């Protein structure tokens, strides 16, 4: 059951699209995700505002990488209004719990045209940053560049996981 604003009911294809997205995420099923994306879909990552992923082929491939890195995904019931819905999800990245919110917009055909992820806490997000971009880079640009991205991103994940152990004790 979703919570919907009565002044502006959900677009007819929104709830089925979100339900399919949640099911695809919980089952780590990139093929199922591909079926609900518009050809010109745009995905905004929580890792950087410098790039976004565009097109159903690239967004599907990215989610295969995401599903390989984030384990034990679970989702919540969505909130909807008009052509937009949100739901939260959680999972584990290298043993750290990641909590996130997915903001989804659909077109008139009920296909996802845009979605944005917001995530927390920072140590889990930094671990995701150290884990996912090397995998995506290796797929898109080759193993050598993937290794370079891993070398650049790994210290951030380590630093924030370490800080998360000590800083709260000092606050």
Please report whether residue 83 resides in a domain: yes
Q: pLDDT tens-digit profile of 6-16?
A: 566 667 889 99
CATH number, domain of 17, equals 3.10.450.50
Domain that holds residue 85: 3-120
Q: Whole-prediction pTM value?
A: 0.86
Please report whether residue 75 resides in a domain: yes
Sequence-distant (6+) residues with CB within 8 A of 146 are: 134, 135, 137, 138, 139
Q: pLDDT tens-digit profile of 45-97?
A: 998 889 999 999 999 999 999 999 999 999 999 999 999 999 999 999 999 99
Query: Quick one: pLDDT at residue 12?
Result: 80
Closest CA to 132 of 62, 51, 75, 44: 62
Query: Quick one: pLDDT at residue 11?
Result: 73
Closest CA to 121 of 82, 155, 79, 165: 165
Q: pLDDT tens-digit profile of 87-130?
A: 999 999 999 999 999 999 999 999 999 999 999 999 999 999 99
Please report whether residue 132 resides in a domain: no
Please report whether residue 128 resides in a domain: no
Q: What does the pLDDT average to over 135-157?
A: 93
Query: Quick one: pLDDT at residue 66?
Result: 95
Please report whether residue 141 resides in a domain: no
For residue 2, pLDDT over 70 is answered with no
For residue 5, pLDDT over 60 is answered with no
Encoded tokens for 36:
């609900």
For residue 4, pLDDT over 80 is answered with no
Provide the number of structural domains found in the chain. 1
Name the band, by pLDDT with cuts 50, 70 and 90, for residue 18. Answer: very high
Please report whether residue 40 resides in a domain: yes
| Residue 29 buriedness (CB in 10 A; 0-12 / 13-18 / 19+) | middle
- Phi and psi at 69, nearest 5°, equal -100, -40
Please report whether residue 129 resides in a domain: no
Please report whether residue 151 resides in a domain: no
């Amino acid at each position: 059951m979703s919570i919907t604003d009565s002044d502006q009911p959900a677009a007819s294809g929104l709830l089925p699209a979100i339900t399919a997205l949640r099911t695809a995420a919980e089952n780590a099923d990139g093929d199922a995700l591909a079926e609900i994306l518009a050809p010109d879909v745009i995905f905004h990552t929580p890792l950087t505002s410098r790039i976004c992923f565009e097109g159903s082929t690239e967004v599907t491939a990215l989610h295969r990488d995401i599903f390989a890195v984030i384990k034990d995904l679970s989702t919540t019931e969505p909130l909807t209004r008009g052509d937009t819905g949100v739901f939260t999800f959680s999972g584990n990245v290298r043993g750290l719990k990641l909590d996130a919110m997915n903001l989804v917009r659909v077109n008139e055909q009920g296909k996802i045209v845009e979605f944005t992820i917001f995530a927390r806490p920072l140590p889990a997000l930094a671990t995701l940053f150290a884990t996912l971009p090397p995998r995506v880079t290796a797929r898109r640009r080759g193993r050598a560049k993937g290794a370079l991205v891993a070398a650049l991103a790994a210290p951030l994940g380590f630093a924030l996981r370490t800080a998360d152990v000590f800083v709260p004790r000092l606050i």
